[in-house]
Each structure stands twice: as C-alpha cells, then as structure tokens.
C-alpha cells in the first residue's frame, strides 16, 4: 500500500475540518465542490493547533477537574467537616473518548504530512513563494542529482503549482535565478520551472551567505515565503552567517522554511535547525537512507500534543483508582447502565468506527494469499534478492595468508594492494582484503534503496485496516477468541469495531472460520467450522453485536474449546492438512496461573498443526467490575504484554500489541524493521568502504569526474585529446642496445645496463650537446607489466653513429610508514563474557585506535642536530611546515590531515557508544548485583547472617531476577545454598533450568530469613562438592567468622587441580578489609570480584545518561568491581584520546587556514 499515490492537493484530508469539541464532517458533495473551487486550506501545525489543540478543545487537567464536585459532610462527633471530591464515571468516559479522538486526529495529520512531496520537503506555506536550491558539488553528484530533480518536480506538481507567484534560484559558488523577480503561476511558467529543474548541474562550493543576501533582499517586499533546500554544509562560518541573517530578519514577517535534503552531516543538520530558529521559521530534515523524514517542526508539535494527551489519560486512570496527586477522589457510578453505554458507543474510540456502525457488512475480499513476514522475507528479503553485503563482496574478498619464509627466518603475512584494496571485517569475525569496485557498490546501494522502499510499503500495508489490530491472518482455518469479560465493558465499541473490520477485510478469503466469546465461561457462535460466505459473515456480525460483557477472564476454558472442543467434530484438530490459526483477542492476563496456561498451549501446539496468535489491546487501566466473577489479575500493561508474548511463543504464533496511539509491538512488523535496519547497516558499511577507499587515494567518483572541468573533454578518447595539445618530438628510428634488450625481456636487463653505463665517446674532444628531455614520449608497449612513469627515470646520449641512446633507471618505491585510520569492528549483540575477554576483541589497542601509536612513526619524529659551524642545535627543515605537539614527553610532528583526524573522531565516537552500551548492559537487571554469569554450571552462595537483614527483601527480588534472567534464559544448570551459622541447600545436585525448577527456587529463596553468624568456609566446602567445572558465586556483606587467611588457604586447596572458579560479590559492604578479603578470594581462584551498592543506582543512571552528552569528560563514578573497573578505565582512556584528537585537529585547521579556524 503506497500512501504517496494520491496527491495531497487533490484529496482533502478527513481530519481537516473535524472539531475535537464534537463537530461533524462536511458532506462529500460540499467537500468535492470546495476542492474544485479552491485549494485545500493548508496551515502549519502551529496555526492548525490554534483550533485543534487540546487546550482549545477544553481537554486539559483544569477542564477535567471542572467535572469534580465537592461534598461536605460531618466528620464525627466533634462536629468537624469532611470534604469529599466526587466525579461521575460517565464524565471520565466522555473525557477519555475525546482524548482518543484527538490522538487519532493528530496521527492522521502526521500521516498526511508524510505523503508525497511533503515527506521530502515538508509543507510549503504562503502564496508568493521563493525556492532556493543547493546545487553545490556535494549535493548534486551523479548519484544524488536525478533523485533531487525528481523530488523537485513532485514538489512543483503537488504544492508550488497552486501558489500565486514563484521565484526560483540555485546557488553553488555563485547564484543563478530563473527570472529576475517573482512571476505569476501559469501553465507556461510551470513548464519553464520543469525545464529549469531538469537543467540543474553542480556549480562548485556552497556559498549560502551570498544566496541568502539575494533571497532575503527579494523577500522583503515581493515574497511572503522562502524555502531553502540544503544538502551540504555552507562554506561560511556559522557565526558570520547567522549574524547576517539575524540582522536582515529584524522587523520582517517573511516565512522561512529550511529543508535538509538527504544529508547525514551533523554540521548541515545543525545549520538547518539554527537557521530556522534565527528566522523564527520551520525546518524539515529528510533522510534518503530509509526514505523517511527524520525530524520536522510540524511533526514535533503534533507529537508534543500526543504526549500531553497520553499524560491526561494517565490522570484519568489515577482518578479511577481514587486518587489524583495525593488528593482522594470518589468515582460515582462505576457500573454504567446500558442506556448510557449505548450513548457513549456513538463517540469515537481510539480507532474511529465506520460511519454507520449497525449497517450490514461490506465484504472486501483481497484475493491475495496472505503470508507471515518471515515467509514473505524468505522470498523478498535481502538474502533472497542476494542483497547481503557479504554476498556482494564475496567474489572480491581474499583472506589474509601467513607463511614462514626461510630466507628471512620468520613468519610473514600477506599485505593488501593499497591502491585497490581495503581491509574489512567479515561476518564471522575474520578480516579479509576487499577489492573495492566502486561502480558495483554504487549499483548495490541503488538496489538496496529499492528493497528498503518495498519493505516500507509492506510495513504501511500491515499498519492499515484490520491488520493494524489483528495483524495478518495467514491460516486457512481461523478461530477468533474474543475477551468479553467485565474488564472490557468500556471497550465494547472497540471490540465490535475490531471484529467488524476483520469480518469485512480478511475472513472472506479463508476456508472456514468460527468465533468464540469468553468471560467466566466460553461460548461459540457455531458448533462447527463454517465457510465465510457473505450470509455467514453477516450472521456472525449480528451475533457479535449481541454479546454481553460480564464475568471474569477464563482464558484457559476458551483455549480448551478452541484447541480440542466440539468445533472440530469431536476429534483432535484438525483432521485435514490445513493449518489452523487461533487468534486470541484480549486486554489482560488470564485469571488462571500463567504456567498452567502456557504449559497447556505448548503441549497442544507442539504436536498439532495449530498456531496460537495473541492480539493484545490496551487502553486505560481497567477497574474491577461489580459482578460476582473472580477478580482479575492485577498486572501492568508491560506485565500483561510479557505474559501474553510468552503465550504466543509457546503456541508457535505471533504477538501483536495495539493501544490508543497505534501499534506498540508486532512480530510481523519487527521482522521487517529488523530487515530494514540490516539494510541500513549494509548501506553504512558500503559507504564506509567507498569513503575509506576514495579518501586514501584521493579518487574522484564517476559523477565528480564527469562534472569537474570540461565535460566533453572527459568523454573523448586519449588520442583525440593529445592531438589538440603540443605534439611530442619524433621518436628515434633506431633503437639503442639497452632498449632492444628491454623489448626482448628482463633477463638481460642488468647486463645491458652495465654495457650502456660503461660506454664512453671515442674522442674526448668530441662536442656532445646536452640532450633535451623528450617530453610527451609515451611508454613502450611490451607484453610485460609496465611500472608507473614516476618510478622510472632515463638519461639521453648520442652514439658514435649519430643516433640517440637512452639509459633507463628503475627506483624502488620507498616503504611508507604512514598509518591510516582503521574502521572499528563492533559486536552485533552483547556477548556473555568477562570484560577482560571482551576487551581482547574490542579494546582501543585491538581496534588500532591508540592515538599515541598513530602519532609515533619515524616520520613524525622531531629532529634537532648540532651544526658545528654555528655551534647550536638546529631543527629539521619541515619543522616550520608541520605543527609540533608533545606526546608522552616527546616532541612529535602532526602529519595527519584534518580529514583523517575527523575520521579518527568518528570511529572513536562509535567505539565510545559501544562501550557505553556495554556499561549499561552490565548495570541492567541482575547483572548489577551479581555480574555476568559465565559458566554453564553454577552454585549461588547467599549470606543470610544477621547483618544482611536490612537488605534481605531487595536481595530476594534480585535473586529471582538472577534465576529467570540469566540462569533460565541462558540454560545454566544451577543450585542455591544459604549460609549463616550453618548451611542450607535448596537442592543437593545441580538442576536443569526448567520453569518448574526456577519457580521452586524462587519460592525457596522467598522463605529465607536472616540470623546467626557468617560461616563462609563451610559454604565454600559445600559449594565445591557440586562437582568439577562448577562456578561459585559468593554474595556476602562482610568478613567470615573464622580467619580470613584460613579461608583463603582452604579455598586454594579446594580448587587445586579442579576447574572450579569462585566469584565474589560484595553487597553493601563498606569495610575495606572485608572487601579486600573478597577480592583476594576471587583472584586466588581465577574468579572475578564484583561490588554492588544500593545507594548508587541513581548516580549510575545519571552518569550513563550524561556519558555521551558530556563529550570527552572522564567518568566521575569510580567502579571497584573487576568488570566495571576495566571498562570504565578503557572509557576514560578513549575519552582522553578524543580530547587530544580534538586539540590536534584544531591545530591542523589553524595551520591550514588561520582565518577560517
């Protein structure tokens, strides 16, 4: 489904004339007449929100509190007065419905703003518009120019054609305009504009200041809107540019709209945003990598309103729970009567119902066989289309080779051809030499962009219609299981609308279907599967409208009926080869035990061709009903989503989660987004390959080579170009002996060279004039590989017979010690290993980003030698050319270019982001307390002495998190023991991490209490008895009762000759001697020491949140655990290198261009 198919100028959006306060939409005839008579009233989001914002519609907290009444009653015998705040449930429901309508209204406008040319350039305001287009070499390359011209033509057709006057100007090094001033829009003028767009060519640099001088002067009286399209960074300094714009805009009302077109440069994006801020205009940032708008002033204002509406929904939830900001409130009439519910059902929910809710169904069979995203990607994904980056590079990828050279008596490795190859990390972690084929990579990027566009269209298709609520129904036999418990009584309209659109759009193409509604019990629409004829679908819709919402949520009974009930004809489902899909539509967790429901689903779906898909819809938090059903399980939205997601996984199905704001989670869409992210990663890696290759060689891309200099000259053959210049001198007709032997082969080259050098004239008095160098003489064409002209020199002399002789000298190429900036290799996901092992792969040294080593080559050495004639030490000649800096106490020369220093900063920024993610991962979940569990067999030793009593409650929850997050998730066999004066063991042997075992361990941990001393030695002896290869994780808050040295000696004895590792965790221990004991105990047995504080959680979170924002400042928080300390030190070292690199780059810029710096 392509949303850009219809022109925004031809279709008036349905939300344009909708009032949040209850207005109605105009008729289709009036809308069509208005569209024909005059263009749609286009307003910016700020102007549009003046009439459609939450505040203007009365949807604010003050408006909500206006429905609150105060009831005064006597408090008691003392005669005091008690004030009670009350609000009716009907008022809350009306308020919620208005908020849902507002959210859907804002989403509709956001979708409208992402159609056609508005997605690329944003919404163009005004009637007299000036368009300024950046035609610099950076924005108009051969690859970018066709897309820019196509998008500009779309802008002219959709938006500029309805304006009154137009003015067009392009700028590069100089400015160029189509007309001298604004011209009235006509068909002839639009043809001129299209021709002007088609003739755009690159024109050098980006002189934005000169373009703004001309554009702002013209916009003083003749224009009311100015659109600036930028694709590259301006040549001027930002201070001079913005000071000029700020002075020119004083007292003017010109609307300025700045667009960042397909630029990933932070400098360009920053210039666009600041220019919009200085001119008090709007900005729009479009990214071509995925074909979406990254940011926009209009869209951000709408998202702010959506966020405010969601905050008000949270306030209504608090009111239903009886409290709003520490004020007690009573909600009157929680059970809405049927008449009131019928009146509320006419109000729009967060998904707008059809205009006539009770009308007969409009069956719209698609006629397309729907498949899941996994099956679709197997035919249309990157791998199926052979668009994987490694698939494209594999024909030109060569592995590194190592071999022993006897003559050198050492092992050498193969080197890469610097002029044609670069090193690149392969998907298996190895490094290969890649022969970079620039045209192939450019073609690959175009195909990759087309594949991403197809993925984006499928995402939009999955986000429309009934697929937005249910996902895509893939099976031919479908059972719909709808939750009609009392908790969903406020969502009856939404449930009916969801079932209606499903019946209309997706079920008509299926083989058979049935519907089950459940609350405290389950009931079916038909006893057997029924073909989806129009009559049967209409009867099903009437049955859905008559459903009553009452009772609890007996999900297990409904699933039993769907998976093994009478609807299958009394036999185990299904008897035919068609796969059956069960779609559970609910708003919360089942009333039954989670493990019981999941175990039943897993058992039924593992042996039969049945899939259970779960569709979760969530709105406001539900209040408990007044009926006699069992109370619903109290769970947050995230907890309910976690339980239902696990249920879908057990049923081999998909999980789909929607709310009032749209789709929150969808397995189908997540698979497509993952493929799009993979494509973006491939795009970035291929671009880095091209950039590193061209930057190393100074190579010009085909489009740059095409548009640089004389374009006609670039296409002419070499012979034709040589004829226009000065002809070279005639070649000698007779060849010298050395040239003859050179043609024959290199075997006699050495002997011939000696003979040529040994030749002397026969007479010393012979007058031999100096031979002029033969410029223009081409290379001798032989069958052997010719060396580059710069590496071959020749001398000319006369022979006795008057002919000319030559001696060719070949000089070996000097070996370069210049070190290039490598591309960092980052992990795709977090690895379960210690920081020491992790840094062996991803440290600064391993990534070859040590700034000291990059600046320590022999060419960088600063030489000062003593000159006897002047009796002083004099520096080398190039000391005045290259700036000098102090590195590790030595004076070095900076021979890196500013571009290389920028590349170094880019690569170190990526590495710093990777380090920060690793740090956040180490401090998340149970890893913050216990660290990372490395072994596959583990015993956890818990100190439950009397000193642990203040922390036992939190420790129990952390132990439960450890059991589920690490042991169960990573399939680690484990046991748990608690020690104080004695030792208590949960299980005497290591257990498999099944759900039953993990649940039993959590229950055992919850029963622990604190008392007695700290018998650490007996706990270690018991833990070592679990077998060889086990990892012991000892958590304690102090020293043992016995001698520390005794415990250390016994620990060494227990682990001697065995693969037993003891890891220690210091839990809220401030005694330095106790921490030293735990550290020594871990290090003596090859383990790791970890220290956890409960009072540093906020400090850690704040430190990580500001880690990247603070630039290159070192981390304030000092970690003492082994893993965190090593990573923190590496982060500080990397930040130190980055601060040095910033300073070095500034020095280089000042040396290169002092005025610009």
What would the pLDDT profile of 439-472 be if each residue is shown by its tens digit? 888 888 888 888 988 998 888 888 888 888 888 8
> Using CB atoms within 10 A of its CB, is residue 1108 exposed (0-12), middle (13-18) or buried (19+)?
exposed
Please confirm whether the linkage preceding 331 is cis (ω < 30° from 0).
no
Please list, in sequence order, all residues whose beta carbon lies within 8 angstroms of the beta carbon of residue 560, skipping any fewer than 6 positions away.
Answer: 522, 600
What distance in Å separates the CA atoms of residue 209 and residue 585, rounded to the nearest whole number?
59
Better-predicted residue by pLDDT, 814 or 314? 314
Whether the pLDDT of residue 603 is over 60: the answer is yes
Please list, in sequence order, all residues whose beta carbon lies within 8 angstroms of the beta carbon of residue 400, skipping any fewer than 6 positions away.
Answer: 413, 414, 430, 431, 432, 433
Please list, in sequence order, all residues whose beta carbon lies within 8 angstroms of the beta carbon of residue 640, skipping any fewer than 6 positions away.
Answer: 587, 588, 589, 616, 618
Structure tokens at 559: 């699933």
pLDDT digits (tens, 9 = 90+) for 979-1025: 998 899 999 899 999 988 998 999 999 888 888 888 899 999 999 98
Whether the pLDDT of residue 637 is over 70: the answer is yes
pLDDT digits (tens, 9 = 90+) for 113-122: 888 888 888 8
Q: What's 74's DSSP letter? A: E
DSSP H stretches of helix in 471-579:
492-505, 534-545, 555-564
When pLDDT is cut at 50, 70 and 90, the band that residue 1115 belongs to is: low
When pLDDT is cut at 50, 70 and 90, the band that residue 161 belongs to is: confident
Whether the pLDDT of residue 501 is over 90: the answer is no
When pLDDT is cut at 50, 70 and 90, the band that residue 776 belongs to is: very low
Please list, in sequence order, all residues whose beta carbon lies within 8 angstroms of the beta carbon of residue 693, skipping any fewer than 6 positions away.
Answer: 422, 436, 438, 699
- Answer yes or no: same fold for 472-623+633-653 and 930-1095: yes
When pLDDT is cut at 50, 70 and 90, the band that residue 1088 belongs to is: very high
pLDDT given for residue 1108 in this prediction: 47
Length of the chain: 1157
Tally of CB atoms within 10 A around 876: 14
pLDDT given for residue 853 in this prediction: 79
What distance in Å separates the CA atoms of residue 1082 and residue 650, rounded to the nearest whole number?
40
Whether the pLDDT of residue 338 is over 70: the answer is no
CB 593 within 8 A of CB 599: no
pLDDT given for residue 289 in this prediction: 59
pLDDT digits (tens, 9 = 90+) for 257-300: 898 888 877 788 888 888 888 888 888 888 765 566 678 888 88
Better-predicted residue by pLDDT, 985 or 1147? 985
> Using CB atoms within 10 A of its CB, is residue 1033 exposed (0-12), middle (13-18) or buried (19+)?
buried
The tally of CA atoms less than 13 A away on the side-chain side of residue 520 is 12
pLDDT given for residue 249 in this prediction: 78
Better-predicted residue by pLDDT, 879 or 392? 392
Element containing residue 984 per DSSP (H, E): strand 983-985
Better-predicted residue by pLDDT, 701 or 798? 798
Query: Mean pLDDT across the chain, nearest whole number?
Result: 75
- CATH T-level topology, domain 472-623+633-653: Rossmann fold (3.40.50)
pLDDT given for residue 992 in this prediction: 92
Of 785-799, 871-885, 1069-1083, give the lowest mean pLDDT range.
785-799
pLDDT digits (tens, 9 = 90+) for 226-260: 899 988 888 877 777 888 888 877 777 788 889 88
Average pLDDT over residues 130-144: 86
Query: Could you identify the residue written with the tokens 């000071």?
Result: 243
Better-predicted residue by pLDDT, 1051 or 607? 1051
pLDDT given for residue 515 in this prediction: 92
Q: Which of 46-50, 883-887, 1086-1090 has the highest mean pLDDT?
A: 1086-1090
Give the residue from 251, 233, 226 showing the smallest Cα distance to 168.
226
Whether the pLDDT of residue 707 is over 50: the answer is no
Of 364-368, 592-596, 670-674, 791-795, give the lowest mean pLDDT range.
791-795
Better-predicted residue by pLDDT, 996 or 631? 996
Whether the pLDDT of residue 795 is over 80: the answer is no
pLDDT given for residue 759 in this prediction: 43
Element containing residue 798 per DSSP (H, E): strand 792-798
When pLDDT is cut at 50, 70 and 90, the band that residue 343 belongs to is: very low
pLDDT digits (tens, 9 = 90+) for 74-109: 555 555 555 667 777 777 778 878 888 888 888 888
pLDDT given for residue 624 in this prediction: 35
pLDDT given for residue 656 in this prediction: 92
CB 648 within 8 A of CB 655: yes
pLDDT digits (tens, 9 = 90+) for 907-933: 888 899 899 889 888 888 888 888 999
What distance in Å separates the CA atoms of residue 911 and residue 901, rounded to the nearest whole number?
15
Whether the pLDDT of residue 481 is over 60: the answer is yes
Helix axes 297-320, 89-113, angle to 10 degrees: 160
Q: What's 871's DSSP letter? A: T
Main-chain phi, psi angles of 378, to 5 degrees: -65, -20
Residue 57 CA, distance from chain mean position: 36
Residue 451 CA, distance from chain mean position: 18
What distance in Å separates the CA atoms of residue 655 and residue 669, rounded to the nearest whole number?
10
Better-predicted residue by pLDDT, 262 or 807? 262
Give the residue from 771, 763, 766, 764 showing the smallest Cα distance to 804.
771
When pLDDT is cut at 50, 70 and 90, the band that residue 724 belongs to is: very low
Q: Which of 56-60, 344-348, 880-884, 982-986 has the highest mean pLDDT?
A: 982-986
pLDDT given for residue 791 in this prediction: 56
What distance in Å separates the CA atoms of residue 266 and residue 263, rounded to the nearest whole number?
8
Tally of CB atoms within 10 A around 709: 9
The tally of CA atoms less than 13 A away on the side-chain side of residue 245 is 25
Write down the domain spans for the chain: 7-110+308-344, 114-290, 472-623+633-653, 839-858+878-895+1124-1157, 930-1095
Better-predicted residue by pLDDT, 897 or 986? 986
Structure tokens at 383: 């791998």
Whether the pLDDT of residue 337 is over 60: the answer is no
Q: Is 625 helix (H, G, I), strand (E, B) or coil?
A: coil
Q: What is the dihedral of CA 171, 172, 173, 177, to 10 degrees?
A: -30
CATH architecture of structural domain 930-1095: 3-Layer(aba) Sandwich (3.40)
Average pLDDT over residues 869-897: 67
- Using only C-alpha atoms, the chain has a radius of gyration, in whole angstroms, of 38
Q: How do strand 872-875 and strand 884-887 relate by DSSP bridges?
A: unpaired
What distance in Å separates the CA atoms of residue 2 and residue 5, rounded to the nearest whole number?
6
Per cent of the chain over pLDDT 90 is 7
What distance in Å separates the CA atoms of residue 492 and residue 349, rounded to the nearest whole number?
10
When pLDDT is cut at 50, 70 and 90, the band that residue 955 belongs to is: confident
Average pLDDT over residues 526-534: 88
pLDDT given for residue 967 in this prediction: 92
Q: What's 966's DSSP letter? A: I
pLDDT given for residue 863 in this prediction: 58
Measured CA to CA in angstroms, residue 872 lies from 233, 236, 519, 856, 893 at distances of 48, 45, 99, 26, 21
When pLDDT is cut at 50, 70 and 90, the band that residue 718 belongs to is: very low
Whether the pLDDT of residue 436 is over 90: the answer is no
CB 652 within 8 A of CB 611: yes
pLDDT given for residue 585 in this prediction: 92
CB 107 within 8 A of CB 306: yes
What distance in Å separates the CA atoms of residue 878 and residue 175, rounded to the nearest whole number?
41
Of 162-176, 393-407, 470-484, give the lowest mean pLDDT range.
393-407
Structure tokens at 724: 């226009």
When pLDDT is cut at 50, 70 and 90, the band that residue 751 belongs to is: very low
pLDDT given for residue 570 in this prediction: 47
Q: Is 1040 helix (H, G, I), strand (E, B) or coil?
A: coil
CB 526 within 8 A of CB 514: yes
Average pLDDT over residues 846-862: 73
> Using CB atoms within 10 A of its CB, is residue 844 exposed (0-12), middle (13-18) or buried (19+)?
buried
pLDDT given for residue 767 in this prediction: 42
> Using CB atoms within 10 A of its CB, is residue 1027 exposed (0-12), middle (13-18) or buried (19+)?
middle
Structure tokens at 163: 């304006």
Give the residue from 244, 193, 242, 248 showing the smallest Cα distance to 218.
248
Element containing residue 1018 per DSSP (H, E): helix 1016-1024
Of 390-399, 719-728, 788-797, 1037-1046, give the lowest mean pLDDT range.
719-728
The CATH number of 114-290 is: 3.40.50.410
pLDDT given for residue 69 in this prediction: 73
């Amino acid at each position: 489904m392509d949303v850009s198919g219809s022109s925004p100028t031809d279709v008036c959006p349905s939300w344009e004339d909708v009032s949040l306060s209850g207005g109605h939409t105009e008729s289709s005839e009036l809308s069509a007449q208005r569209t024909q008579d005059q263009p749609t009233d286009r307003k910016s989001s700020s102007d549009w929100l003046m009439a459609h914002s939450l505040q203007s519609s009365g949807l604010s907290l003050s408006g909500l509190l206006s429905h609150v009444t105060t009831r005064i009653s006597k408090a008691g015998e003392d005669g005091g007065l008690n004030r009670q705040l009350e609000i009716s449930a009907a008022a809350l429901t009306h308020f919620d419905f208005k908020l849902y309508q507002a959210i859907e209204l804002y989403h509709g406008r956001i979708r409208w703003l992402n159609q056609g040319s508005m997605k690329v350039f944003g919404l163009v305001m005004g009637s007299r518009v000036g368009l300024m287009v950046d035609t610099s070499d950076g924005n108009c390359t051969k690859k970018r120019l066709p897309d820019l011209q196509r998008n500009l033509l779309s802008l002219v057709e959709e938006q500029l054609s309805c304006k009154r006057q137009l003015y067009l100007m392009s700028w590069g090094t100089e400015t160029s305009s189509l007309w001298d001033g604004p011209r009235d829009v006509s068909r002839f003028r639009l043809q001129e504009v299209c021709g002007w767009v088609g003739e755009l060519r690159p024109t050098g640099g980006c002189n934005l200041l000169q373009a703004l001088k001309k554009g702002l002067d013209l916009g003083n009286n003749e224009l009311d809107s100015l659109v600036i399209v930028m694709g590259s960074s301006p040549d001027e300094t930002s201070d001079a540019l913005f000071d000029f714009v700020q002075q020119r805009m004083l007292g003017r009302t010109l609307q300025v709209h700045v667009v960042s077109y397909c630029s990933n440069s932070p400098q360009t994006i920053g210039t666009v945003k600041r220019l919009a801020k200085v001119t008090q205009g709007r900005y729009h940032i479009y990214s071509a990598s995925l074909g979406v708008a990254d940011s926009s002033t209009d869209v951000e204002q709408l998202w702010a309103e959506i966020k405010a509406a969601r905050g008000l929904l949270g306030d209504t939830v608090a009111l239903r729970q009886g409290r709003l900001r520490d004020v007690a409130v009573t909600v009157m009439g929680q059970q809405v009567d049927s008449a009131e519910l019928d009146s509320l059902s006419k109000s729009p929910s967060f998904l707008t119902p059809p205009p006539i809710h009770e009308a007969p169904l409009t069956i719209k069979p698609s006629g397309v066989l729907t498949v899941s995203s996994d099956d679709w990607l197997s035919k249309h994904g990157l791998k199926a289309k052979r668009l994987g980056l490694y698939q494209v590079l594999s024909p030109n990828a060569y592995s590194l080779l190592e071999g022993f050279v006897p003559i050198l008596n050492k092992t050498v490795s193969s080197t890469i051809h610097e002029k044609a190859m670069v090193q690149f990390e392969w998907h298996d972690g190895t490094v290969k030499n890649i022969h970079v084929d620039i045209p192939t990579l450019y073609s690959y990027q175009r195909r990759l962009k087309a594949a991403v566009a197809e993925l984006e269209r499928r995402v939009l298709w999955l986000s429309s219609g009934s697929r937005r609520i249910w996902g895509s129904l893939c099976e031919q036999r479908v059972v719909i299981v709808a939750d009609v418990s009392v908790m969903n009584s406020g969502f009856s309209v939404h449930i009916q609308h969801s079932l209606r659109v499903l019946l209309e759009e997706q079920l008509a193409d299926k083989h058979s279907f049935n519907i089950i509604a459940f609350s405290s019990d389950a009931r079916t629409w038909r006893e057997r599967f029924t073909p989806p004829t129009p009559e049967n679908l209409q009867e099903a819709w009437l049955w859905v409208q008559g459903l009553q919402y009452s009772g609890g949520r007996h999900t297990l009974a409904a699933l039993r009926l769907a998976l093994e009930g009478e609807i299958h004809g009394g036999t185990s489902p299904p008897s035919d080869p068609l796969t059956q899909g069960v779609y559970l539509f609910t708003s919360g967790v089942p009333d039954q035990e989670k493990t019981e429901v999941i175990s039943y689903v897993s058992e039924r779906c593992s042996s039969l061709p049945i899939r259970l898909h779960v569709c979760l819809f969530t709105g406001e938090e539900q209040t408990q009903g007044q009926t006699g059903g069992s109370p619903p399980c109290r769970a947050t939205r995230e907890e309910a989503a976690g339980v239902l997601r696990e249920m879908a996984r057990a049923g081999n199905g998909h999980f789909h989660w929607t709310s009032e704001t749209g789709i929150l989670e969808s397995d189908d869409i997540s698979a497509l987004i993952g493929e799009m992210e993979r494509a973006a990663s491939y795009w970035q890696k291929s671009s880095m390959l091209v950039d590193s290759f061209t930057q190393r060689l100074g190579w010009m891309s085909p489009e740059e080579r095409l548009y640089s200099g004389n374009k006609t000259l670039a296409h002419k053959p070499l012979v034709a170009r040589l004829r226009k210049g000065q002809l070279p001198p005639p070649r000698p007709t007779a060849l010298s002996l050395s040239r003859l032997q050179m043609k024959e082969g290199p075997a006699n080259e050495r002997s011939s060279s000696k003979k040529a050098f040994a030749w002397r004239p026969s007479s010393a008095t012979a007058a031999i004039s100096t031979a002029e160098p033969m410029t223009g003489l081409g290379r001798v064409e032989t069958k052997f590989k010719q060396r580059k002209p710069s590496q071959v020199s020749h001398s000319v002399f006369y022979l006795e017979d008057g002919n000319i002789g030559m001696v060719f000298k070949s000089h070996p190429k000097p070996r370069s010690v210049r070190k290039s900036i490598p591309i960092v290799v980052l992990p795709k996901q977090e690895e379960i290993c210690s920081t020491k092992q992790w840094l062996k792969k991803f440290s600064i040294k391993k990534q070859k980003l040590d700034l000291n080593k990059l600046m320590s080559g022999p060419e960088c050495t600063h030489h000062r030698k003593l000159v006897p004639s002047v009796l002083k030490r004099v520096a080398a000649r190039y000391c005045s050319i290259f700036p000098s800096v102090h590195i590790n106490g030595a004076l070095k020369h900076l021979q890196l270019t500013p571009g290389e220093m920028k590349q170094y900063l880019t690569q170190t920024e990526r590495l710093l982001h990777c380090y920060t993610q690793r740090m956040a991962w180490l401090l998340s979940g149970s890893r913050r307390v216990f660290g990372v569990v490395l072994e596959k067999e583990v015993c956890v030793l818990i100190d439950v002495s009397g000193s642990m009593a203040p922390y036992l409650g939190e420790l129990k929850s952390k132990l439960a998190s450890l059991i589920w997050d690490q042991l169960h998730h990573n399939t680690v066999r484990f046991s748990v023991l608690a020690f104080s004066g004695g030792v208590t063991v949960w299980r005497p042997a290591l257990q498999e991490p099944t759900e039953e075992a993990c649940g039993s361990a959590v229950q055992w941990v919850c029963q622990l209490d604190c008392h007695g001393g700290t018998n650490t030695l007996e706990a270690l002896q018991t833990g070592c008895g679990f077998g060889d290869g086990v990892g012991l994780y000892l958590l304690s808050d102090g020293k043992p009762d016995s001698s520390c040295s005794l415990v250390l000696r016994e620990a060494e004895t227990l682990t001697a000759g065995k693969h037993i590792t003891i890891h220690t965790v210091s839990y809220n221990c401030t005694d330095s001697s106790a921490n030293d004991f735990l550290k020594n105990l871990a290090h003596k047995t090859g383990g790791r020491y970890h220290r956890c504080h409960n009072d540093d959680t906020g400090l850690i979170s704040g430190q990580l949140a500001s880690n990247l924002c603070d630039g290159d400042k070192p981390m304030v928080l000092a970690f003492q655990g082994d893993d965190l300390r090593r990573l923190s030190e590496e982060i500080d070292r990397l930040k130190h290198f980055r601060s040095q690199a910033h300073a070095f780059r500034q020095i280089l810029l000042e040396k290169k261009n002092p005025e610009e710096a």
